[in-house]
Amino acid sequence: MANSWWEIQILCDSALEETIFWRLEVFGCRGMSSEVKGYSSLVGAYLPQEQAHVLDLAALALALRQDALCVGMPIPAVQWDLIDEEDWSITWKEHWQPQEIGDRFLINPAWLPIPEHTDRIVLQLEPGVAFGTGDHATTQLCLESLEMRLGNNEADLIIADVGCGSGILSIGAILLGAKKAYAVDIDPLAVKAARESRDLNGIAAERLTVEQGSVDRVAELIDAPVDGIVCNILAEVIIDLIPQMTAIAKPETWGVFSGILLDQAKPVADTLEENGWVVAALWKRQDWCCMNVRRT
Ligand SMILES: C[S@@+](CC[C@H](N)C(=O)[O-])C[C@H]1O[C@@H](n2cnc3c(N)ncnc32)[C@H](O)[C@@H]1O
């Protein structure tokens, strides 16, 4: 089937939801949703067909089973099916509704009209293939941190968004008043999605540069160190990237780092300290945390 997607559905105890989201993210799933079913949750996720073989899906189901057994929870029921692109998009549209985040943002699916009577900043998104719809706790924590950081409309602020996914954080920063953002992602599909999100929100290409790559790509693109770095990737990736982040920072540069499970916060904080950064605040949501960091 051309342009087919795996639709993965997992019926689980609600307490397992966060671990399952994490597993799915590491597996490479693009869109994730969850629906409450009594005391259980039905977690849905999507993955381009070419990215996983049936054997990979079976291995994923096994890992989820082991995760549940480790914490004495009922074993989740996992099933998968191939669906075509059109069905995938329709499924998304059913799941995805406008969502308020923090005090300022309203994430609005692109197929719905822009709400007229809202005092919130409307951020339009398509159900693209990239991570970053605002559903995930880590994205929410980053947007809320940006709200606090950019509360005073700092017009000259330049930020780097490492692992931009849909571009949600860069766009959020620009809508809050940042002058420019450099958004990078190693996934070409994310780069395409972020450029589409930029156009959807009427942001000029000069204000939001989107390129494939990572921190080293930002270093090539910028003329001067950035004022802020947002990075919502998994802890182990952030740990590897911290030394490179120092190279694109100046003494006043701040960072908003998320994608970090609570029990991985210490190694991230240790690596930050070793590289001349300090954790100024740590925000928690579910099993995740978001670090607001600054240079020492
Ligand atoms: C959890 S998503 C975050 C998306 C979006 N920024 C958000 O906050 O919702 C992480 C993104 O980081 C990208 N990524 C993973 N490792 C990376 C790396 N070493 N450098 C740059 N991007 C990376 C992934 O492709 C993915 O799009």
Strand pairing class (180-185; 158-162): parallel
Does the domain formed by 4-94 have CATH 3.60.20.30?
Answer: no
Task: For the full predicted model, state whether its pTM sits above 0.90.
Answer: no
**Which protein residue has the closest C-alpha to ligand 1 atom 7?**
132
Cα 162 to ligand 1 centre (Å): 7
Domains 4-94 and 97-295 belong to one CATH topology: no
CB count within 10 Å of CB 109 equals 17
DSSP letter assigned to residue 54: H
Fold of 97-295: Rossmann fold (3.40.50)
CA distance 109 to 123: 9
Sign of CA dihedral 78, 37, 109, 173: negative
Pick from 256, 246, 247, 248: nearest CA to 277: 246
Which of 105, 145, 185, 236 most suits a substitution to test ligand 1, by most atoms within 8 Å of the C-beta? 185
pLDDT value at residue 198: 97
C-alpha 218 chain-centroid distance: 18
**Which protein residue has the closest C-alpha to ligand 1 atom 11?**
163
pLDDT value at residue 128: 65
Annotated ligand binding at 240? The verdict is: no
**What was the ipTM of the complex prediction?**
0.99
Q: Where in the chain are the domains? A: 4-94, 97-295
- Averages of pLDDT over runs of 10 residues in the chain (296 residues) are 81 91 88 82 89 86 89 91 77 78 94 89 81 83 95 81 96 96 93 94 98 98 97 93 96 95 94 96 91 95
pLDDT value at residue 88: 67
pLDDT value at residue 1: 47
